Structure 1
């Protein structure tokens, strides 16, 4: 059996000028504008799978869909499912079956630990396939499993702990950062990344491939591995 080809991993995030991804309030705080939301929708349509962490599911209750009917039709025309595979990651198995994520779009996949898998299965029943990655959340095994399932392009949409895990493990091929022209300034608000031992440390510089203006949002596209 040959080695599984890992998917291309794109991390996508919207941040304020001071580096926050939310304002920390009970309601979701939108950082992007309509042009950026449409661009994210296009990137989802180009992906085989989209992933968010369980904490993001609990906080934002996202649907994580491709909203453009034309893009869904294009996917179907090339023989792909109408929606990308929807993926989440949980260390605890604490998942709410009433969240929108489980009840719209296509197939759903949950990655968790050996210990937490029974709890996740009890919570979701037949709403998703639940895969255990061992005694810890091993993101290398996660991308290997997605590759074995035929996923060639994975889009990761947060949250901060998940983005940090992919970068710390050296698994991110591309990072898309949409910078919104505002300041949040709250010490308790969530940031894009958490402290971690990143490969190469601060001496390692990413390659800036592109800067795009979408209305009042600047989109930076980085390649960490070059």
Structure 2
């Protein structure tokens, strides 16, 4: 799980433009993590709000992946409960990589018709079946990039091995700003803390790497 947040835990603000929380050195670090992943997952809300490309930026890293018999960038993955996705989004139109969309069975037919050849739509009953399907497709390392509802689901389900959390040196201070996580029952608690495996200064940012729960 890769997250950048303000000091008060916000991953964006409420303005119409995306809040930049990282610097170029941190973007390069994230790019290296993407290059090491088999797939990258974001929620449908992140696609609608941020229109991310989710591609490896470094030509050298793309070339290294291709030389190893992999696609230039990882498989793109999203999950939607409603099927509200625009096939012209960057998620679908950029990168010669597989795009997987997971959704409840009730919206699969309509979503498949809407997206056409832009993605493979797979019906799932929940997070466990989504992860099982990814595993069957050869995904061993999944990078989860948000947003807050996705972070919350994965952490509450105790299926995260690592959290890479970068803090930006400012406060957002907006009550309605999107948060890293939402209220939930988390296995990670004072009685079952995570293990801090790395602290790194990146300019005025700080990276904390945690091994999570039983995975630590």
Q: TM > 0.5 between the two?
A: yes
Q: Determine if contact 1:45/1:84 at 8 Å carries over to the other structure.
A: yes
Q: Could you tell me how far 1:145 is from its partner in structure 2? A: 0.9
Q: Which has the higher contact order (CA 8 A, sep 6+)?
A: 1
- 1:34-83 Cα deviation digits (max 9, x unpaired): 11100000000000000100000000001011010000000011111111
Partner of residue 147 from structure 1, selected from 98, 115, 135: 135
In structure 2, C-alpha distance between the alignment counterparts of 1:46 and 1:90, rounded to whole Å = 25
In structure 1, C-alpha distance between the alignment counterparts of 2:106 and 2:190, rounded to whole Å = 35
Which residue does the alignment assign to 1:128?
119
In structure 2, C-alpha distance between the alignment counterparts of 1:197 and 1:188, rounded to whole Å = 21
State the TM-score, normalized to the length of structure 2: 0.96
- 1:4-45 Cα deviation digits (max 9, x unpaired): xxxxxxx00100011100011111111111111000000000
Q: Could you tell me how far 1:200 is from its partner in structure 2? A: 5.2
- 1:54 matched to 2:44: yes
* RMSD (Å), alpha carbons: 0.9
Unaligned runs of 5+ in 1: 1-10
State the TM-score, normalized to the length of structure 1: 0.92
Give matches, 1:1-226, under 5 Å: 11-105=1-95, 106-134=97-125, 138-199=126-187, 201-225=189-213, 226=216
Q: Determine if contact 2:38/2:142 at 8 Å carries over to the other structure.
A: yes
In structure 1, C-alpha distance between the alignment counterparts of 2:169 and 2:87, rounded to whole Å = 36
